[in-house]
Copies of this chain bind each other. A is one copy, B any other.
Amino acid sequence: MGTAEETADGEDVPWGEVTPDAARRLLVAAVDAFAERGYHATTTRDIASRAGMSPAALYIHYKTKEELLHRISRIGHDKALRILEKAADGPGTAAERLADAVRSFVRWHAERHTTARVVQYELDALGPEHRAEIVALRRRTDAAVRRIIGEGVAAGEFDVPDVPGTTLAVLSLCIDVARWFNAQGSRTPDEVGALYADLVLRMVRARG
């Protein structure tokens, strides 16, 4: 807390951990390009020109185009996981924690949907070692949700016949927000978060 990439009120500055400034500008340009066209359809010239630099500038700060994707994916997954685990470890009943987790996770996917789209849908473009690292993070994401649902069942709050299957469905539902969410659409990230939290509570048949 209080590190350079956070403001006084504790809210994160996106990509604040990426330095120096030129490296961050390139990374932000890459996120936009990857989200818009996909990793494979994006050229290094496109990324550099979005950042206002020559094609060669990219290779001062990153070894390859794939390393850029890895940095984006790594930071994005870290952030998403932290949001989810914070909600899972919070106070309150299982229903309250599940609703909180879904609400904040979905809000992140909607608010930062360009980043989320890259993070969630360009996994296959990573090299084998980098992909393995990211897959490990995703398992922790799955474990966090499964724990809340499991505790809710144990406490008699939830009625869920298939805990792993329901966990999968809940996460799938949240992640897919990154695919369809449109900033020009009629729903705000808060509204989608509230809607999805309600739907998920219904899925576990929590009293609510």
Q: Chain A interface (Cβ within 8 Å of chain B)?
A: 37-38, 40-41, 121, 124-125, 161-162, 165-166, 168-169, 172-173, 175-177, 179-180, 187, 192, 195-196, 198-199, 202-205
The residue from B125, B175, B199, B204 contacting A176, defined by CB atoms under 8 A apart: B175
Of the A-B pairs whose beta carbons lie under 8 Å apart in the complex, a sample of 30, sorted by A's number, is A37-B124, A38-B40, A38-B124, A40-B40, A40-B41, A121-B121, A161-B198, A165-B187, A165-B192, A165-B195, A166-B195, A166-B199, A169-B195, A169-B196, A172-B173, A172-B176, A172-B177, A172-B179, A172-B180, A173-B173, A173-B176, A175-B176, A176-B176, A176-B179, A199-B203, A202-B202, A202-B203, A202-B204, A202-B205, A203-B203
B199 touches A169 (CB 8 A): yes
Distance of A102 from chain B, by nearest CB (Å): 11
Q: How many copies does the complex hold?
A: 2
Residue ID in chain B nearest A198 by CB atoms? B161
Distance of A13 from chain B, by nearest CB (Å): 29
Separation of A168 and B185 alpha carbons in the complex (Å): 13
B38 touches A162 (CB 8 A): no
Separation of A37 and B181 alpha carbons in the complex (Å): 24
Separation of A25 and B41 alpha carbons in the complex (Å): 26
Residue ID in chain B nearest A42 by CB atoms? B40
Task: Return chain B residues, CB-CB under 8 Å to A172.
Answer: 173, 176-177, 179-180
Distance of A27 from chain B, by nearest CB (Å): 21
Residue ID in chain B nearest A123 by CB atoms? B179
Residue ID in chain B nearest A124 by CB atoms? B38
Task: Return chain B residues, CB-CB under 8 Å to A176.
Answer: 172-173, 175-176, 179
Nearest 7 pairs of A and B residues by beta carbon: A40-B40, A176-B176, A172-B176, A40-B41, A165-B195, A173-B173, A202-B203
Residue with the highest number of chain B CB atoms closer than 10 Å, among A121, A125, A176, A192: A176
Distance of A91 from chain B, by nearest CB (Å): 26
